[in-house]
Amino acid sequence: MVSLLAGCRQDMHNQPKYTPLRSSEFFPDGRSARDPVPGTVARGQLREDTLFHTGKVGNQFAVQFPMPVTRALLERGQGRYNIYCAPCHSLTGNGFGMVVQRGYRRPVSFHDPRLRGAVPGYYFDVMTRGFGAMPDYAAQLSPADRWAVAAYVRALQLSQHATLEDLPPVQREQLMKEPMPAPATKPAETEKKVPPPGVQP
């Protein structure tokens, strides 16, 4: 008998609570779910920094990043880019990602002159709201990660169009001291001998 009574204990199984969308007789409108108190802001959702959360200054895309572009920021951007962007845009940003090779619509290369001239806020906005066939990635990428990806896209663009003058003086001097690789030589063509008439080769 004692064991049976112990098995009937409900403890916290029966709670005075409402499951989502359940009706209520306590409130006049019959809803158990209540609207937030006017003027309240959820923790972490204040978003006072408009530039950081929208990528814009006024109505214009931001031309600068809202934080210093450090090595740590670029490495974070590379990691997020490889996960969410490379399947379509490819690891080099030329638009021939693995998804595109299997039939998905190819995006414009990041090395296209138009996108090379785009400001950082533009890339942030595209990741936030989507563009054309590209869906938005606001749910996958936090605002900080969107800025990190935008910074890494800039690094990709520079990697394909860098010049010697872009290097720091020390590295430029070291590179100039390195011997130039010898030009590739074309293998000499062997003369094909034609047997005289009537002689089998």
Each residue's pLDDT tens digit, 45-67? 888 899 999 999 999 999 999 99
Is residue 44's pLDDT more than 70? yes
Name the residue among 151, 158, 124 with its Cα closest to residue 68: 151
Residue 130: pLDDT band with limits 50, 70, 90: very high
Is residue 17's pLDDT more than 90? no
CATH of domain 69-161: 1.10.760.10
For residues 163, 164, 170, 171, the Cα torsion angle rounded to the nearest 10 degrees is 70
- The answer to which of 36-40, 66-70, 106-110, 152-156 has the lowest mean pLDDT is 36-40
CA distance 75 to 81: 10
pLDDT value of position 3: 57
Query: Quick check: pTM over 0.85?
Result: no
What value does the mean pLDDT take over residues 84-108?
A: 96
